[in-house]
Amino acid sequence: MIKSVHFSAWLIRLIRTVDPEDTEWHRNKINEIAALKKQKRINDAQIEQDLEMLKIQFTEELARTREKETRITQDYKEFLDTIDDMKMQIVETFPEMPKALALLIHQHAKRLIDDMWNNSDERAQQMYRAKLAEFLKVVFDDTSQTVFEDNKPRIPERTLKLIG
């Protein structure tokens, strides 16, 4: 019985010596876990904020791209309307000319516009822009000079030379 009492006392002392360490270890682990959970919430909030900022940025970029493309399309349509007017002016200026030649001139101008518009290479766009400008200048010269000449030509010869 004495040995049993001594053993019980020794076991109680052992539990008391181990228990504070064990409790301290648990407290440290609980604090570490709480700190990790807090850091995770902070990180999650940061990720949420970053995602919201990216969403705003992409939404605004999309709006700018739509607006830019709308302006580009309007410019393209304006070019096409202008060459339609040019075709009508050619037909009025050269009434004896076959309408097919006016359509050929119109088609050539449209092709130059399409080549300029649809080319992604800036250098090629500039080349087509210069060709279109030269072509439109010659068409303008042919149609405006005819108005002032007494002996009017029957076709816009300089314009047709540029096409051929």
Contacts of 50 (CB under 8 A, 6+ apart): none
Averaged pLDDT for residues 118-130: 92
Domain count, the chain: 1
Grouping H, G, I as helix, E, B as strand and the rest as coil, residue 106 is: helix
Contacts of 138 (CB under 8 A, 6+ apart): 158, 159, 162
pTM of the model: 0.63
pLDDT band at 5 (very low <50, low <70, confident <90, very high): low
Question: What domain range is 58 assigned to?
Answer: 2-163
- How many Cβ atoms from other residues are within 10 Å of residue 139's Cβ? 24
pLDDT in tens, 37-92: 999 999 999 999 999 999 999 999 999 999 999 999 999 999 999 999 999 999 98
